């Protein structure tokens, strides 16, 4: 226990960093995921192509490589931001591809007659998607979106290798101070459990309230 009690502030700082990364990157991933899912089913060919390329590239790119591209590539174009913001961009964009595909699978579960009925009433594509299709699709994809955001929380550990304050990076100063590496990682694992179980609890509540009964 002395590893935790002697370094509670250090663990707290790392846990707070992981929570902040997870929250901000999740919001970005959800926003981009909804946008790209809309593009994937849009009647405009150029939007469908853009959405397809976005998903294909990001789903097939290692997250570590994406971190290198964002943190080292963007400054070459004059975009200089705090490392934490770069990490949020990398995590959010990467996860948005998986959110997009989860939503698209949900959209495909909505009967086509729903969209046809909306269009027959004179609703535009945006109105049909936002008011009729996506609300129904979201109900069926709450569990996979929750699982994706849990994966995002765990993927945030990569940010520690790029000078971003987060939970996994706590082991470095503890190791330098001579603490047991095993116990250091055990308490780090407990911290990640707190984050992931909290996300799971939130999505369990959402599923009970809005999920589709099967």
CB 164 within 8 Å of CB 83: yes
Per residue in 13-44, pLDDT (tens digit) is 889 999 999 999 999 999 999 999 989 988 88
Residue 214 has pLDDT above 70, yes or no: no
pTM assigned to the model: 0.87
- What's the CA gap between 189 and 154, in Å, rounded? 10
Average pLDDT, integer, range 56-76 = 90
Residue count of the chain: 214
Are the C-beta atoms of 84 and 165 separated by less than 8 Å? yes
Judged against a pLDDT cut of 80, whether residue 52 lies above it is answered with: yes
Segment 108-144, tens digit of pLDDT: 877 777 777 777 777 877 777 777 787 788 888 888 9
Under the banding of pLDDT at 50, 70 and 90, the label for residue 4 is confident
pLDDT at 213: 55
Alpha-carbon span 133 to 4, nearest angstrom: 48
List, as one string, the DSSP characters of 26-77: HHHHHHHHHHHHHHHT-S-HHHHHHHHHHHHHHHTS-HHHHHHIIIIIGGGG
- CA-closest candidate to residue 82, choices 21, 132, 22: 21
- Triad 26, 57, 142: Cα angle to 5°: 35
CA dist 37 to 42, 63, 139, 147, Å? 9, 21, 15, 18
C-alpha–C-alpha distance, residues 164 and 53, integer Å: 29
Q: Answer for the pair 159, 67: CB distance below 8 angstroms, yes or no.
A: yes
110: left (phi over 0), alpha (psi -120 to 50) or beta: beta
Q: What is the pLDDT of residue 24?
A: 96
Q: How far, in Å, CA of 177 to CA of 205, rounded?
A: 42
């Amino acid at each position: 226990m002395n590893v935790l009690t002697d370094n509670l502030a250090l663990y707290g700082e790392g846990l707070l960093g992981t929570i902040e990364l997870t929250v901000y990157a999740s919001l970005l991933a959800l926003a981009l995921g909804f946008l790209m899912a809309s593009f994937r089913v849009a009647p405009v060919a150029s939007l469908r192509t853009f959405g397809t390329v976005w998903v294909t590239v990001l789903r097939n790119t290692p997250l570590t490589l994406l971190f290198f591209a964002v943190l080292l590539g963007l400054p070459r174009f004059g975009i200089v931001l705090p490392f934490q913001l770069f990490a949020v961009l990398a995590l959010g964009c990467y996860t948005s591809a998986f959110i997009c595909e989860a939503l698209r699978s949900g959209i495909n579960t909505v009967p086509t007659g729903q969209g046809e009925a909306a269009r027959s009433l004179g609703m535009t594509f945006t109105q049909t998607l936002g008011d009729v299709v996506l609300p129904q699709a979201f109900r069926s994809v709450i569990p996979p979106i929750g699982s994706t955001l849990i994966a995002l929380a765990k993927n945030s550990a990569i940010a520690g290798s790029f000078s971003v304050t987060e939970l996994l990076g706590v082991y470095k100063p503890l190791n330098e101070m001579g603490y047991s590496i095993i116990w250091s990682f055990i308490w780090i694992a407990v911290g990640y459990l707190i984050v992931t179980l909290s996300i799971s609890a939130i999505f369990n509540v959402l599923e009970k309230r809005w999920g589709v009964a099967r």
